[in-house]
């Protein structure tokens, strides 16, 4: 082969190479542009359809968008959402698991996986995903989304009957929520209250009220919490404050009435005269005995002791009798509790007072 | 008096030029394959609309018209582009001294991109391989390579083409060495590797580093799973033998029809693909998206098995009716779906813990490939290269080797050899070449006769092929066979007569 032919071939090849590279470059650019624009158009159409409630068509568009852009997290997430809307949990989970493999700390993905696992009653998986969602990263509104995820996690613990976990999560949440987010803090306090932690609930309501003294909902919540803590005076004050601040809650009046009834019955209140305390104790014994007799016969010795105390002359009142009556009322109440089913319409005032007495006795023992 | 010419210190030997040319071939093949991929995708987008439900009717029309147009191009405009790329590359190597007509490149590019892009069940790898071979042949002719190197240029281009199509350099190299070039030298291997690597670099430069599939993490959940993988190999072997047989029979029947019916046949093939695609769009085109979905457990096991059966059927029709395109992608698809389906089935019945169906899709992918193309090493390394997981090697080796042996037993004639025979060409089969028993000195030598004078007889070792011995016997009457452990000691002699006798005895081997 002569140098001239070699040179000629080399020039031809070089020119062809440049030409082919240029064509390929242009084609590649056009390819990526077209691919992205077609995928985005399908995604937007899918979002519009999803917004209009046509989840099946939306899923179809998102799926088509993914054919163009396999690796788009945005499209796959949208598809998973549509599939969840359609109740196609397994398919949605497959997409989300795939996304989670690539991005295990992604908050939204883990939250959706948690919901799917929760829906399928795979609660241990759900808890794991919720925790990943809570501690993962959120591209938008991280605090709100983490809070929402934690509330859902609390729901799972509650469903599983794990009160300790519920309280632990609520207390963690209470520590994380910003002070100015009164609505969320009230929600946390309400949950603490319904999950048997009125003291923590009262603390949060007080903190909310420290920021805004006229927060009627917080005052009402505080009233409920104090009532559960057997601080009936405090509860009445809180209800009154809520009513004064114009909270439109039809239950407030009932609660106030209940407070007053309890306060009229409670023999353990401070600043009662000895006579008043004796009368209240006797009334309490009378009420508890009557409640017990409705479903069970009292043991002979208990019944005799109760009758004897009830027939004491007021002139012979002694502090010892008052205490004895309260103790006996407590025993009768316990007897009734063990022997009888919960009545359809319990005497709430009596129940509240007896609960307070029980707490005080437990504290002194 | 003219001064004597000094040798240019920068002048390259032919072998060095060949290696440099291999890089250039890789770059050209890579660029072509990029354009080929893009063209297929563009045609697919505009004809099938990403297979969304919105364009359902297009699924019926596109493959029908696509098949017609592509077959018209391949039969009427670019007749040289017809047939299997592997066989054409072999023909260039063994028959036409490395010449692949340039029109083949254009013909394959246009016809196959239309056929595959419009949804016909065929793959882009075989055309890419042939385009690579065509470009290589053109460059070889431009640089006027010697006959020996020119013959080897087509496989070098083929390796670049297939490596670029799969985006896997090792697979490209191995396939060409295993299927196209039966025997190779260090120079040939070097050229093939260089071209494959440079093609993949170009592909990744333009289309990114994304692998062919997003492969899930693979792990062997329980040792008993190997039994399931072995059963998968059995299924893959049986199905691949059946597939080759069906293609053989159907092609033979269709060839009996007059030539003017070619377009009608292709039209029917395309229509059938569209008809199946109305309900199972996953079977349309190369099907890599569906394999990817299956790897991520998107399909239930019964749908996977249905897809395997449907794909087998539509591929059989597309290929047999002469629609241009390759068979690699459909083979991977069928194997993947079969593997996934069996894996999913095992989930229900296997008494031990078992991996996800995605793992079976990955392993299954190679079984059918190994059974059809009889390239077990390529199939093993392809799955390994695609998955990037070392732990997958054991199940893949078991499944693919079993599939290979079963298919070979049931249908001894390899797929490409069968195609070549049907096209009236007798090309050497790499598989047969490997299976052929090579006669060596030890097969022909006789004991040293007493009193023989071996002083002048040249030494030869017993493991040397008889062909090499024959060259020495051109100058000497007798050869002294010596042990490698003790080269001075004669353990036998070899004469021309012994060689004749050995070849005579071995006649029945060939």
Per residue in B336-380, pLDDT (tens digit) is 999 999 998 988 888 777 777 788 998 999 999 999 999 899 999
**Nearest chain A CA: its distance from B214 CA (Å):** 9
B292 interaction partners in chain A (CB closer than 8 Å): 70
A57 interaction partners in chain B (CB closer than 8 Å): 53
The pLDDT score that the predictor gives to residue A345 is 59
Is residue A92 helix, strand or coil?
helix
Sign of the CA dihedral with B418 first, then B419, B425, and B430 last = negative
Q: Do B52 and A5 touch (CB under 8 A)?
A: no
CATH number of this structure's domain B14-207: 1.10.3080.10
Given B35, B45, B214, which is nearest A38 (Cβ)?
B45
Rounded-to-integer distance, Cα A40 and Cα A46, Å: 10
The answer to whether the beta carbons of residues B344 and B300 sit under 8 Å apart is yes
pLDDT at B507 over 60: no
- Fold equal for B14-207 and B225-430: yes
- The tokens describing A194, both together, are 């319904």
Question: Between A and B, how many CB-CB pairs are < 8 A?
Answer: 80
Is residue B482 helix, strand or coil?
strand
Name the DSSP class of B478.
E
Rounded-to-integer distance, Cα B496 and Cα B82, Å: 46
Q: Do A34 and B49 touch (CB under 8 A)?
A: no
- The tokens describing B245, both together, are 């047989």
The answer to whether the beta carbons of residues A189 and A201 sit under 8 Å apart is yes
B38 interaction partners in chain A (CB closer than 8 Å): 27-28, 31
Q: Do A70 and B292 touch (CB under 8 A)?
A: yes
Residue B11 pLDDT grade (very low, low, confident, very high; cuts 50, 70, 90): low
pLDDT at B509 over 50: no
The answer to whether the beta carbons of residues B417 and B427 sit under 8 Å apart is yes
Beta pairing partners, B460: B481
The answer to whether the beta carbons of residues A292 and A298 sit under 8 Å apart is yes
Is residue B123 helix, strand or coil?
strand
Rounded-to-integer distance, Cα B316 and Cα B310, Å: 10
Q: Do A24 and B34 touch (CB under 8 A)?
A: yes
Rounded-to-integer distance, Cα B32 and Cα B57, Å: 32
The B490-495 sheet, strands edge to edge: B459-460, B478-482, B490-495
- pLDDT, averaged across chain B: 87
- Please check whether residue B152 touches A, CB under 8 A: no
Rounded-to-integer distance, Cα B8 and Cα A365, Å: 110
Q: Do B38 and A42 touch (CB under 8 A)?
A: no
Predicted confidence pLDDT, tens digits, chain A (365 residues): 566 677 888 899 999 999 999 999 999 999 999 999 999 999 999 999 999 999 999 998 998 898 888 889 999 999 999 999 999 888 899 889 888 988 899 999 999 999 999 999 999 999 999 999 999 999 989 989 999 999 999 999 999 889 899 999 999 988 888 888 889 999 999 999 988 888 999 999 999 998 888 888 899 999 999 988 888 888 888 888 888 887 788 888 888 888 888 888 888 887 778 888 888 888 888 888 887 777 766 676 767 676 766 666 555 556 667 788 888 888 888 877 777 766 655 677 888 888 888 888 777 76
DSSP strand pairing (B478-482 vs B459-460): parallel
pLDDT at B206 over 90: yes
| Model pLDDT for residues B274-298, shown as the tens digit of each residue | 999 989 989 999 999 899 888 887 8
- Please check whether residue B437 touches A, CB under 8 A: no
**Nearest chain B CA: its distance from A160 CA (Å):** 28
Q: Which CATH architecture has domain B441-509?
A: Roll (3.10)
**Nearest chain A CA: its distance from B306 CA (Å):** 19
Give B 13-32 residues with CB within 8 A of chain A: 24, 27-28, 31-32
Given B52, B139, B298, which is nearest A13 (Cβ)?
B139
Rounded-to-integer distance, Cα B173 and Cα B132, Å: 13
Backbone φ and ψ of A224, nearest 5°: -60, -45
pLDDT at B406 over 80: yes
The answer to whether the beta carbons of residues B133 and B157 sit under 8 Å apart is yes
The answer to whether the beta carbons of residues A147 and A173 sit under 8 Å apart is yes
Name the DSSP class of B447.
P
Q: Do B31 and A9 touch (CB under 8 A)?
A: no
The pLDDT score that the predictor gives to residue B47 is 87
Give B 54-83 residues with CB within 8 A of chain A: 54
- Please check whether residue B147 touches A, CB under 8 A: no
Rounded-to-integer distance, Cα A227 and Cα A262, Å: 10
Per-domain boundaries in chain A = 162-265, 274-364
Backbone φ and ψ of B123, nearest 5°: -115, 160
The answer to whether the beta carbons of residues B171 and B115 sit under 8 Å apart is no
Please state which of the four CATH numbers 1.10.3080.10, 3.30.497.10, 3.20.20.140, 2.60.40.1180 is assigned to the domain occupying B225-430. Answer: 1.10.3080.10
Given A31, A60, A71, which is nearest B53 (Cβ)?
A60
The pLDDT score that the predictor gives to residue A27 is 96
Which helix H or strand E contains B353, and what residues bound it? none
B27 interaction partners in chain A (CB closer than 8 Å): 17
- The tokens describing A339, both together, are 């022997």
**Nearest chain A CA: its distance from B376 CA (Å):** 30
Q: Which CATH architecture has domain A162-265?
A: Alpha Horseshoe (1.25)
Phi-psi region of B51 (alpha: psi -120 to 50; beta: other; left: phi over 0): left
Return the exposure string of B217-245: e unless at least 16 CB atoms fall within 10 Å of the residue's CB, then b.
Answer: ebebeeeebeebbbbbbbbbbebbbbbbe
- What count of Cα atoms within 13 Å lies in the side-chain half-sphere of residue B159? 33
B214 interaction partners in chain A (CB closer than 8 Å): 70-71, 98
- The tokens describing A224, both together, are 């409920």
Given B39, B51, B144, which is nearest A67 (Cβ)?
B51
Q: Do B50 and A28 touch (CB under 8 A)?
A: no
- Average pLDDT over every residue of B215-235: 85
- Give Dmax over CA atoms of chain B in angstroms: 93
Rounded-to-integer distance, Cα B409 and Cα B401, Å: 12
Task: Compare all CA atoms of chain B with the CA of A88 and give the residue at the minimum distance.
Answer: B298
Given B41, B49, B289, which is nearest A31 (Cβ)?
B41
Per-domain boundaries in chain B = 14-207, 225-430, 441-509
Q: Do B206 and A28 touch (CB under 8 A)?
A: yes
DSSP string, B5-32: PPPPTTPPPHHHHHHHHHHHHHHHHHHH
B35 interaction partners in chain A (CB closer than 8 Å): 20, 23-24, 27
Given B38, B52, B298, which is nearest A28 (Cβ)?
B38
- Please check whether residue B4 touches A, CB under 8 A: no
Given A13, A25, A67, which is nearest B50 (Cβ)?
A67
| Model pLDDT for residues B20-77, shown as the tens digit of each residue | 899 999 999 999 999 999 999 999 988 887 555 556 777 889 999 999 999 999 999 9
Task: Compare all CA atoms of chain B with the CA of A10 and give the residue at the minimum distance.
Answer: B143
| Model pLDDT for residues B69-100, shown as the tens digit of each residue | 999 999 999 988 887 888 888 888 888 888 88
- Average pLDDT over every residue of B460-487: 85
CA A189 to chain centre: 9
Complex-level ipTM = 0.82
The answer to whether the beta carbons of residues A170 and A157 sit under 8 Å apart is no
Mark out chain A residues that contact chain B at CB-CB < 8 A: 1, 5-6, 9, 12-13, 16-17, 20-21, 23-25, 27-28, 31, 34-35, 38, 42, 57, 60-61, 63-65, 67-68, 70-71, 91, 94, 97-98, 101
Q: Read off the pTM.
A: 0.75
Task: Compare all CA atoms of chain A with the CA of B53 and give the residue at the minimum distance.
Answer: A60
């Amino acid at each position: 082969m002569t140098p001239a032919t070699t040179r000629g071939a080399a020039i031809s090849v070089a020119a062809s190479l440049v030409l082919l590279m240029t064509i390929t470059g242009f084609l590649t650019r056009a390819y990526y542009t077209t691919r992205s624009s077609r995928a985005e158009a399908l995604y937007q159409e899918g979002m519009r359809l999803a917004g209009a409630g046509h989840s099946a068509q939306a899923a179809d568009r998102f799926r088509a968008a993914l054919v163009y852009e396999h690796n788009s997290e945005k499209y796959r997430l949208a598809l998973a959402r549509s599939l969840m809307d359609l109740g196609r949990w397994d398919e949605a989970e497959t997409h989300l698991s795939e996304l989670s493999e690539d991005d295990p700390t992604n908050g939204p993905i883990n939250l959706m996986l948690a919901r799917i696992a929760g829906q399928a009653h795979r609660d241990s998986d759900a808890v794991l995903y919720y925790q990943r969602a809570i501690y993962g990263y959120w591209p938008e509104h991280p605090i709100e989304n983490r809070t929402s995820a934690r509330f859902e996690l609390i729901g799972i613990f509650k469903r599983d009957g794990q009160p300790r976990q519920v309280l632990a999560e609520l207390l963690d949440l209470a520590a994380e929520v910003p002070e100015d987010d009164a609505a969320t803090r009230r929600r946390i306090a309400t949950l603490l209250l319904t999950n048997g932690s009125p003291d923590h609930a009262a603390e949060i309501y007080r903190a909310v009220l420290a920021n805004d003294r006229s927060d009627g909902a917080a005052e009402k919540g505080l009233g409920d919490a104090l009532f559960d803590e057997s601080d009936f005076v405090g509860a009445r004050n809180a209800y009154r404050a809520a009513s004064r601040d114009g909270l439109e809650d039809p239950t407030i009046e009932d609660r106030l009435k209940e407070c007053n009834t309890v306060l009229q019955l409670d023999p353990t209140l401070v600043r009662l005269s000895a006579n008043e305390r004796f009368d209240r104790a006797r009334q309490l014994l009378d009420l508890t005995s009557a409640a017990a007799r409705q479903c069970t016969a009292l043991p002979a010795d208990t019944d005799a002791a109760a009758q004897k105390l009830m027939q004491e002359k007021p002139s012979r009142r002694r502090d010892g009798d008052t205490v004895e009556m309260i103790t006996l009322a407590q025993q009768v109440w316990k007897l009734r509790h063990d022997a009888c089913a919960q009545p359809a319409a319990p005497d709430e005032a009596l129940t509240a007072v007896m609960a307070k007495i029980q707490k005080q006795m437990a504290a002194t023992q | 008096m003219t001064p004597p010419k000094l040798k240019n210190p920068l002048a390259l030997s032919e072998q060095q030029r060949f290696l440099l040319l291999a890089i250039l071939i890789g770059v050209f093949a890579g660029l072509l394959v990029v354009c080929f991929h893009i063209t297929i995708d563009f045609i697919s987008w505009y004809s099938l609309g990403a297979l969304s439900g919105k364009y359902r009717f297009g699924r019926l029309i596109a493959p029908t018209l696509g098949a017609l147009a592509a077959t018209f191009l391949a039969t009427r405009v670019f007749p040289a582009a017809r047939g299997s790329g592997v066989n054409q590359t072999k023909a260039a190597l063994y028959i036409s001294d490395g010449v692949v007509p340039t029109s083949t490149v254009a013909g394959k590019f246009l016809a196959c991109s239309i056929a595959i892009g419009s949804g016909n069940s065929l793959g882009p790898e075989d055309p890419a391989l042939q385009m690579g071979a065509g470009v290589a042949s053109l460059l070889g002719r431009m640089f006027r390579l010697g006959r020996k190197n020119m013959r080897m240029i087509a496989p070098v281009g083929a390796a670049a083409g297939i490596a670029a199509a799969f985006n896997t350099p090792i697979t490209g190299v191995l396939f060409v060495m295993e299927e196209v070039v039966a025997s190779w030298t260090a120079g040939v291997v070097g050229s093939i590797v260089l071209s494959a690597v440079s093609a993949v670099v170009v592909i990744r430069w333009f289309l990114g580093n994304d692998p062919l599939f997003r492969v899930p993490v693979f792990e062997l959940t329980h040792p008993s799973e190997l039994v399931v993988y072995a059963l998968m190999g059995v299924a893959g072997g049986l199905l691949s033998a059946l597939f080759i047989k069906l293609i053989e029979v159907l092609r033979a029947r269709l060839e009996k029809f007059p030539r003017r019916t070619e377009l009608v046949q292709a039209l029917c093939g395309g229509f059938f693909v569209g008809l199946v695609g109305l309900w199972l769009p996953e079977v349309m085109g190369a099907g890599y998206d569906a394999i990817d979905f299956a790897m991520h457990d998107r399909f239930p096991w019964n749908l996977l098995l249905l897809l395997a059966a449907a794909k087998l059927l539509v591929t059989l029709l597309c290929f047999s009716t002469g629609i241009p395109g390759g068979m690699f992608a459909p083979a991977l698809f069928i194997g993947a779906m079969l593997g996934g389906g069996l894996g999913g089935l095992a989930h229900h019945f296997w008494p031990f813990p078992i991996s996800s169906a995605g793992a079976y899709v990955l392993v299954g992918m190679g079984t059918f490939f190994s059974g059809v193309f009889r390239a077990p090493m390529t199939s093993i390394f392809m799955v390994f290269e695609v998955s990037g997981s070392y732990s997958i090697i054991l199940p893949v080796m078991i499944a693919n080797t079993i599939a290979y042996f079963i298919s070979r037993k049931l249908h001894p004639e390899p797929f490409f050899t069968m195609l070549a025979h049907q096209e009236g060409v007798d090309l050497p089969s790499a598989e047969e070449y490997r299976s052929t028993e090579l006669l060596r000195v030890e097969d022909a030598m006789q004991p040293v006769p007493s009193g023989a004078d071996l002083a002048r007889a040249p030494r030869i070792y017993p493991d040397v092929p008889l062909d090499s011995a024959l060259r020495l016997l051109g100058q000497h009457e007798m050869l002294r066979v010596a042990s490698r452990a003790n080269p001075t000691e004669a353990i036998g002699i070899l004469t021309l007569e012994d060689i004749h006798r050995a070849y005579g005895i071995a006649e029945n081997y060939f």
